[in-house]
Every structure is written in C-alpha cells, then in structure tokens.
Amino acid sequence: MQANPIIYAALLSLILGAPGLLAQRASTSLPNAPMTQSFLVASAQARSVTNSPSPAGAEGIPTPFTRQEAEKLALANNPRIRITQLIARVQHQAVRERRADELPNLNGNLTAVEANDGSRISSGSLTASRLLEHAGMGVQVSQLITDFGHTRNLVASAKLQEKARLADAEASRLDIVLATDQVFFAVIEAQETLKVATQTVNARQALTDQVSALTKAKLKSDLDESFAQVNLSQAKLLQLDAQNNLDAAKAAFSAVLGYDKEMNFQLVDDSGSLPAVPPDSDALIAQAIQNRPDLQSLKYSEQAAEKFSKAQHEQLFPTISALGAVGGTPVGSSQYFTTNWYGAVGGNVSIPIFNGFRLTAQASEAALQSKAATEQTRALRDQVVRDVRTAWLNANTAMQRVTVTAELLKQANTALDLAKTRYDLGLSSIVELSQAELQQTEAAIGNANARSQYNFAISTLNFQTGVQP
C-alpha cells in the first residue's frame, strides 16, 4: 500500500524536530543544583543592581554617582565576587560527597551469560569459578554501620571547609568595597585638585594680563612679566597633571565597577559631616578579631584540619558494614540453579593490619597540617591587631590634617592678599608674590584632599575591623 506523502513529510519533520524539543524540555524541567543561602541572597542583590539602569549617561553627559551606588554596582559586576561564590558552592558539593559514605549504597544488576556449562576459569584468579549459561536480575545493598568516627569526622571537616569558603566570599566582598572606596575617593581628590588647578590658572592668567599691561605702560619691568609668565606656565602644567590624574582615576574606577571601558561619571561626595574616630583602639581590635571574615575563614580551616586529623587517625580502626543481596534467575539450568531466586544478608568487619605504614604516615601528615593551620591563624590574628592599630592612628592623623589644612589655607589666602597688595603698591617684588601664590595653591590642594583622605581612612578602619558596609 502506498503511503500518503503528507504523512511522510509530517513524520520527517517530527523526527528532525524531536532533538530540539527534547533539549528545550530538558532545559526547562531539570532542577537547579542546591545553593547556599548567602549565595542566593547575593545573587538576588546582584540581579537587582544589574537590571537597574546604567549609571552613566549614554550621551556622554556625566551622571552624578555616590559612593553607596558605586559599592552596590561593584559588588554586582566584579568577577571576584562570583568566583568566591562558585568556590563556596563547590565546597558544598564536597560536603554531599562525604556524607554519601554514611548512606546506603543500592545497586541493581541484570546479567545474561552464554557459556560452556560446567567449565571453569583456570587462569587470572585464585577462585575456580564455574561458568554456567543463565540470565538473572537482582539488587545489592551495603550500609556502613560504623568506622569509629572516620566518616563522621570527614563530613564535619568538609562542613567546616564550606564555612571557610563562605567566609572567604565575605572577605572578597569587603575587599571589593574597600577597593571601590579607594578609587572613589581618588577620583574625588583628583576632581578637587583639578578644580584648584583651574582656579589657579585663571587667577595667574589675570595677573599675567595685568602685569603685561603695566609692562607696556612702563610701570613694571620685563622681569615682572617673565616671572608672571613662568607662574602661569607652572599653573598650566599643574592643570595638565591634575587632568591626567583624574582620567587615570576614572579608568581605575570603571575597572573596579566591572566595566571594560571608561564610563563617564561625575562622582559626588555625599558623606556629609565627617564621622568621628573611635576614641579607643582596643575595642576596635576586639571587634576585628570577632568580625574579620578572613580571620574567621582561617579559624574554620583550623577546625577542619583538626577534624581531618582525627579522621586520619581513625583509619587505623576497624570498619563494620552490612551487606545484602536479593534477586531472581528466570533462565538457568535446574541442575545448578535449584531455585529461581536468591537472597542473602550478612556483615563484614574490615581490620587494617599492615599497608606499609601508609595510614600512620597519613595520620602524622594530617596532625602536622593541623598544627600549621593553628599557627597561620595566630599569625593572621597578630597582623589584624597591627593593621587595626595602624588604621586607627592613620584616621586620627587624617582628622587632624583636616583641621590643620583648613587653618593653613586661611593663612595662605591672607598672605596672598597681603603680597598682592604690597606688589600693587610697589612695596615688594614679583618673587614675593610668586611665593605667596605657590603656598596658596599648595594649601588649597592640601585642604581639598584632606577631606577625601580622611573619608578613605575611615573606610580603611571599617575594613580592618570587619564592619559591614
């Protein structure tokens, strides 16, 4: 009978489209791997920030951008955050692998043999297994009863390692926040420096024009005009350097945020009034020892090494397990298979006697690694104490610099006004005026940068103490 061509075409399209349909169904129906709670929260935050509109104007217009917005965007886009989260998920699967040794193992078998009935295997084995033509099916189950804590301590060690990796992820998060704050305040500092440099160029340009006019009128000498031109050129060089530093800081800022090209940001310092420095460093040190995620990671790793050391020593103990098997033999010679089913249950005790001192060497190795982990934790603790105290001292110094630079700028402005008045009255040379201008420029730059430097010193102190942003 001749088939309908339309039916053939329909069948052909169904066959060709089946793999794509199956792949699409598999991609939509397969469950996701389990994730830790912290990773789910971080991923949700990352999606919410990533899906938000871009902070940079598409037309090249600078967009106001605060430090908090920069930190959120950096945490969402920086690849280091994703890397540490994935490593934590890897360690979570390692915990599941270790825990599997405590659960039953169930295997199913289907066997069919075509053989010369009654013949035996005569080489390759100590047992003289008889070959029989048959077909059978069955299941085998094994369950660990006890290995005197070996598996239990391996599972505990893996769990502690997972906690250590989660702490590493949090430490990377704080690292990214600090790096973001560093480049943020670097851009703020560069913006303020460029602003001062531009004002200096304008002021010296006005003075140069004035001196040039007076020189043409024979009221000032050519030396005065030359000094004014030199001062103007120095101001322009300062402006060029400030612009270059600003561009470099913006490039670093874009890289920290995870962009592969420079974005057009206009950063805004919204910190308001300057926060006070805590009066005592001892309380900060105690807070850092308790909260620093990198120190917590080493503590968890130290505990994991202790559990692993115990597990390695427990390899020397016996292992007790239960075994069971049940199945049927529907095809087989009745001469050898008297019943069509089989079943058995039993126990096994495995006692390590001698394996070339491997187990004792592994136990000693794990014990030494545990001691090394303890020393690493102690070394980092000492470093944390030093870093917190240093950050506290730097913050106090930065706070004092804010006050001192403000007073210095006030005095420099007064000195510049007096020097300019004396120069206009012909009571001093342009050298005195140039010196006053230089001092005023340095004081203005120092005062503009002191606030940003203090804010970054506070961010560093918060990082060293483990304070969450």
Question: What pLDDT, in 10s, does the model give residues 66-98?
Answer: 899 999 999 998 888 899 999 999 999 999 999
- Residues 329-345 have pLDDT tens digits of 898 878 778 888 889 99
Q: Would you say residue 29 lies in a domain?
A: no
Spatial CB neighbours of 81, under 8 Å, sequence gap ≥ 6: 42, 46, 75, 169, 172, 173, 176
- For residues 371 and 7, which has the higher predicted lDDT (pLDDT)? 371
Q: 65: which 2 tokens?
A: 């951008």
128/216 same-domain check: no
Mean pLDDT, the chain, rounded, equals 84
Stretch (H or E) spanning 54: none
- For residues 127 and 84, which has the higher predicted lDDT (pLDDT)? 84
Q: What pLDDT is recorded for position 385?
A: 96
Q: 49: which 2 tokens?
A: 């920030």
Q: Would you say residue 426 lies in a domain?
A: yes
309/323 same-domain check: no
Does residue 1 carry a pLDDT above 70? Answer: no
**Lowest pLDDT segment from 22-31, 198-207, 246-255:** 22-31
The pTM assigned to this predicted structure is: 0.75
Q: What pLDDT is recorded for position 62?
A: 65
pLDDT band at 41 (very low <50, low <70, confident <90, very high): very low
**Lowest pLDDT segment from 17-21, 202-206, 236-240:** 17-21
- Residues 372-403 have pLDDT tens digits of 999 999 999 999 999 999 999 999 999 999 99
Q: What pLDDT is recorded for position 10?
A: 35
Tell which residue, 405, 68, 467, 71, has the closest CA to residue 278: 467
Strands 105-113 and 134-146: antiparallel
Give me the percent of the chain exceeding a pLDDT of 90: 60
Q: Would you say residue 38 lies in a domain?
A: no
- Tell me the CB-side half-sphere exposure of residue 303, using CA atoms within 13 A: 14
78/135 same-domain check: no
Does residue 6 carry a pLDDT above 70? Answer: no
Residue 261 CB neighbours (<10 A)? 8
Q: Would you say residue 37 lies in a domain?
A: no
311/373 same-domain check: yes
CA dist., res. 200 & res. 338, Å (int)? 108
Domain count of the fold of the chain: 2
310/432 same-domain check: yes
124/213 same-domain check: no
- Residue that is last in its domain, among 327, 351, 375: 351
Buried b / exposed e along 329-352 (16+ C-beta atoms within 10 A): beebeeeebeeeeeeeeeeeeeee
Q: What pLDDT is recorded for position 128?
A: 61
Edge-to-edge strand order for the sheet containing 134-146? 105-113, 134-146, 319-332, 341-350
Stretch (H or E) spanning 323: strand 319-332
According to DSSP, the residues that pair with 194 across neighbouring strands are none
CA dist., res. 147 & res. 127, Å (int)? 29
Reported for 456-460, long-range contacts at CB under 8 A and 24+ positions apart, including other chains, are 456/181, 456/182, 456/185, 457/391, 457/394, 457/395, 457/397, 457/398, 457/399, 458/275, 458/277, 458/395, 459/177, 459/178, 459/181, 459/182, 459/185, 460/178, 460/391, 460/394, 460/395
Supply the range of the domain harboring residue 127.
Answer: 105-146+318-351
453/411 same-domain check: yes
Does residue 52 carry a pLDDT above 60? Answer: no
- Residues 418-460 have pLDDT tens digits of 998 998 888 888 888 888 988 999 999 999 899 999 999 999 9
432/344 same-domain check: no
- Residue that is last in its domain, among 333, 351, 369: 351
Q: What pLDDT is recorded for position 60?
A: 56
**Lowest pLDDT segment from 12-16, 46-50, 78-82, 440-444:** 12-16
Does residue 4 carry a pLDDT above 60? Answer: no
CA dist., res. 330 & res. 135, Å (int)? 6
For residue 135, the domain's CATH number is: 2.20.200
Q: What pLDDT is recorded for position 46?
A: 40
Q: Give me the residue label for tokens 């890289």.
A: 255
Q: What pLDDT is recorded for position 430?
A: 84
- Tell me the CB-side half-sphere exposure of residue 28, using CA atoms within 13 A: 6
How would DSSP label each residue in 328-351? EEEEE-TTT--SSEEEEEEEEEE-
- For residues 350 and 119, which has the higher predicted lDDT (pLDDT)? 350
Does residue 137 carry a pLDDT above 90? Answer: yes
455/373 same-domain check: yes
For residue 362, the domain's CATH number is: 1.20.1600.10
Q: What pLDDT is recorded for position 113?
A: 82
| 142 DSSP 8-state letter | E
92/153 same-domain check: yes
Please report, for residues 137, 288, 340, the alpha-carbon distance to residue 327 in angstroms, rounded to integers and kept in the order given: 6, 62, 9
Q: What pLDDT is recorded for position 58?
A: 41
Q: What pLDDT is recorded for position 381?
A: 96
Q: What pLDDT is recorded for position 13?
A: 39
218/78 same-domain check: yes
Q: Would you say residue 221 lies in a domain?
A: yes
214/260 same-domain check: yes
**Lowest pLDDT segment from 34-48, 118-132, 280-294, 449-463:** 34-48
Main-chain dihedrals φ then ψ at residue 448, nearest 5 degrees: -65, -35
Q: What pLDDT is recorded for position 467?
A: 86
For the chain, report the end-to-end CA distance as a whole number of angstroms: 79
* Mean pLDDT to the nearest integer, 127-138: 81
pLDDT band at 177 (very low <50, low <70, confident <90, very high): very high
- Residues 151-163 have pLDDT tens digits of 999 999 999 999 9
How would DSSP label each residue in 126-137? SS-PBP--EEEE
Q: What pLDDT is recorded for position 143?
A: 95
Q: Would you say residue 91 lies in a domain?
A: yes
**What 3-state class would DSSP assign to 307?**
helix
- Residue that is last in its domain, among 351, 367, 397: 351
Q: At what angle do helices 430-465 and 222-256 cross, to 10 degrees?
A: 10
